[in-house]
Amino acid sequence: MSDDKKIQDNSQVDTVLDFIYKFKSAFTDKMDLEWGFLNGNCYWFAIILKERFSFGDIYYDPEASHFVFGYDRCADGVKFYDITGVCFPSESTMRWSEYMGYDYTHAEKILLDCIIKCD
């Protein structure tokens, strides 16, 4: 991809933040909303962002046990987002699809407990 294309797409950062702001503004209890998407439902907010913005992927931070959306069309690398806006996951953060191959046993537990929410 050319540098011109990357720089042009960097404007999407503001678009992602605008979307998060507008999404949160539709709810009266923003603290409760944030708490929900930071404690057990972060995967689902990452899915919302992935569906809305095609040039990105779901990432998992095993140190924080947290899913984030990574927008990978920025001029200065991947920008990460969760319900709070721009976030800064640990160095061990990787695409969810890669993590499932990296630590399948843990990924399967996360899938059952956090995504499918089996009892």
Give residue-wise pLDDT tens across range 10-58.
455 678 999 999 999 999 888 899 999 999 999 999 999 999 988 899 9
CA-based nearest residue to 87, from 6, 9, 20: 20
Question: What pLDDT sits at residue 117?
Answer: 87
Res 80 pLDDT > 60 = yes
How high does pLDDT run on average in the chain?
87
pTM: 0.84
Question: What pLDDT sits at residue 118?
Answer: 81
List the Cα angle 101/111/32 in 5-degree steps.
130
Question: What pLDDT sits at residue 11?
Answer: 55
Question: What pLDDT sits at residue 13?
Answer: 61
Question: What pLDDT sits at residue 54?
Answer: 82
Question: What pLDDT sits at residue 72?
Answer: 81
Helix axes 42-52, 12-25, angle to 10 degrees: 130
For range 52-79, the mean pLDDT = 90
For range 89-98, the mean pLDDT = 96
